[in-house]
Amino acid sequence: MLDLSGKVAFIAGAGCVGEGWGNGRATAVLMARQGAKVFGTDRSAEALEGTSAVMELEDHRQWFPHTCDMTSAAEVEAAVQACVRRFGRIDILVNNIGGSAPGDPVSLSEEAWDGQMDLNLKTAFLGCKYVLPVMERQFEEEGVGGAIVNVSSIAHMSHQVGGRVNVAYATAKAGLGAFSRSTAIAYVRKGVRVNTVVVGMMNTPLVATRLAGQLGVDLEELVAKRNASIPMGRMGEAWDIANAVLFLASDEAGYITATQLVVDGGVTAAR
């Protein structure tokens, strides 16, 4: 089940903003455990080092880290080419780049708005732009399709996490859902499936390193508040996201495309 042996996964955002398990690191390691060769990018070499340390500890020798700014077309194109040179193909693309900046249309600067669109939406566009031709060629030559999973957020589903207003982030993530569905239909006869994992409130290093500071609250207080707001009574973990991504990327999800898998402990349904 969920065997990825022989497959190559290109994971954008495979690092982590500190110690522990972020969504990208957990996804990269889980796919390696399932037999995939994993090419992981992050704009921070330090963030990738932690993932590399886990891969080395678990003896996953088919792992290759590559520093890349996924908002740069030239760097993304070079990273895709490097992956193909290294492993010969790309079967799975995971676009796991993102980050929120608080603000409403008046308080947000134009620069911040543009930055949010680039970080949360353009990165997926560029990943698809350069990986899709590889997958299409493989399908034409071998009859073997590809799978793309874009990582979104419940912030675009009438839910402002923790009471924050983050209109640019919410808008970009809503756009990511539309981008995924449109791309899925454009490539449905070309052997490529495209789906979206919609992430709820997760207890990852981002909570401690970024969110608590943005909100100006005590970390323990923030964690308790977020846990209490979720019907299941707790935040999710990076592994919850990694398992969802793994399923959608696997052959077991071969008849699933243009859909969203919400992983949020029931938050959006309850609200």
Q: Which residues are catalytic?
A: 169
Angstrom CA distances, 126 to 59, 71, 136, 170, 178, stand at 31, 7, 16, 20, 15
Torsion over CA: 88, 94, 100, 104 (sign)? positive
Secondary structure class of 182 (helix, strand, coil): helix
- How far is it, in rounded angstroms, from Cα 78 to Cα 195? 24
Contact between 8 and 224 (Cβ < 8 Å): no
N-to-C CA span, the chain: 34
Residue 236's Cβ-side half-sphere holds a number of Cα atoms within 13 Å equal to 22
